[in-house]
Structure 1
Amino acid sequence: MAYLTSWNGTSVTEFLLLGFSDTPEMQHFLFALFLIFYVVTLATNFLLLITVSTDRSLHTPMYFFLGNLSFLEIIYTSNIVPRMLTGLISEEKTISFMDCMIQFYFFGSLGGTECLLLSVMSYDRYIAICNPLHYTTVMNSNMCVWLAASSWISGFLITLITVLLMISLTFCGPNEINHFFCDFSPLLKLACSDTYLFEKTSFILSSSLTLIPFLLTVVSYTYILSAVIKQASGTRSKKAISTCSTHLIVVTTFYGTLITMYVVPAAKHSVDTSKIFSIFYTIVTPMINPLIYSLRNKKVREALKRLVDAKLVFWK
């Protein structure tokens, strides 16, 4: 284990990410499985991002935010998966203290930004269904850019405070993280100094990025559901439900895993269970999100078909 002697004692300079099973056969299987997931995640999100960017029929607020979400998923999964894959096939499982903090920073920032973007997308659906006559006025291009930029800036700035507080803690050993990336709880368990104030401050900061957007999303869909029930036309109701169902599936999947992982007391699940849930929101969810949007959305499917047809014509 690597340590560095400083004025306040002995500090950890690197961490050891224990990852998954020590069985070589299992590690090779997991490497192949997660590599496939990662490639599919990159391919589908890049394809969706290109489609939304190039097809004029998708140049609307909803797909603008969807493009932001796809771009986020690419960075989010790339922050964790490549190092995890390296650890599965290599004996080198260490990560420097600063690299660990950087990984934790991007993980927290992008996770918080995703919560905010999902909330913004639910607000967009609320305006489209509950105030359709004012939709183009409210969700104009300036408003869309402002909402997206605010989500990104807020996610990165608020998480920066948490990371700076984390760095100020003393880590004097042991340095083994029983996880496949630098997550909040495993890091906190290794701190030697008093973490009470840090935990309370972090809870307040993280709530502003997770709990508040979640509640705003719930409120938006409550109003949407109420509006759909009141609509006399069955056709309009079905169209509204179809428009929102895709986003609602993504929201349910994302928050479902987060709530299970971070709200349910740690005593309720083992370390291995925590790793499984972490796989869902770091690998599986970024992979299935573009598949859900493309497979369930007629406009996206049609745009994808036009993109593929255009590429085929070009290569001929």
Structure 2
Amino acid sequence: MIIDEDASMRETALSLLKAANIEAVAAADGEEALALSMRQWFPVLLTNRHIPVIDGIELVQRVRAIAIAPVYVIMLSADGTTTHEHEAGYCAGVDHYLPRHSLDAELIARVNTGFAAIRRRQSTATARGNGLMIIDLNSGAHTARHLIGRLHAEIALAARRRTPLTVISACIESDASPGGTLSGQTAASAALLTAVRGSIRAGLHWVARLPAVLNLYRLAIVLPESDAAEVMAVTQGIRNAFAPSQGAGASGAMQLSIGSVVLAHDGNAPTALELLGESERRRRGVGERTADEIQHVQSEAVRDTTEAQAGETAIRLE
């Protein structure tokens, strides 16, 4: 379903989809779109942020509340859309942002990606291996909204309770060429996940498998309620797992890089996107904090974690 008050935009999108043999309907405002959603299930929703009667963000929330099956939401973004606006959309249930000026070039590919994601969601629940929560953006089973929404909630919880929250960015670069065997690339990705699984606390800590780029395999590791000593132990555990496979001349060598960022309770909580971006910058060696600085920030953030944990459970991804 396409929702936009601009009639020419609706007609353009409908024509593109029809040419690709994809059936679609259109609505001019949020109220009409919601009424259509009550009558039937639309697996993919393409909506503008600013639409009459019911705003695009509210529409996404209400459609998800009544949908009888998973829905993949694409939101059109205009030039100048801010990071905060994107994050609000992800938290509301947006799966992907599509620049309005890229509609002609990217619409069909993005809609087909949405259909594929829906099929995966219908056949698999949130991945859990040995109790470990994994948000998998690489396979398409989950999207940015799952990662951003959950991390946003973790930030809010940590800020309210003034407990530590650390995000680690871990990346393994395999010697296998980008066009190398699938088994070699899969082995590199699995090796990184196995190393992480052996180092963190299942049931509290969780992992996001980020989209692979060429021969780089990346994870975002989220460690709520973990002090500096535990964060360092996790980091060292991952490094130790890869020590034998690194170094010049090693067969099938895998190069590991790690960076981390700690949420500071200074009254200016970062967005989820900012926290992820900072951990990635530090993985690349830009502005990395020393162990003493991490210890200092976390010691200020902790306020009787044991009492704060009582009666509360870890946030679960819905």
Task: Please indicate the TM-score interval, normalised by the length of the shorter structure.
Answer: under 0.3
Larger RCO, structures 1/2 (Cα 8 Å, 6+ apart):
1
Q: TM-score, normalised by structure 2?
A: 0.28
Higher strand content, 1 or 2? 2
Higher helix content, 1 or 2? 1
Q: TM-score, normalised by structure 1?
A: 0.28
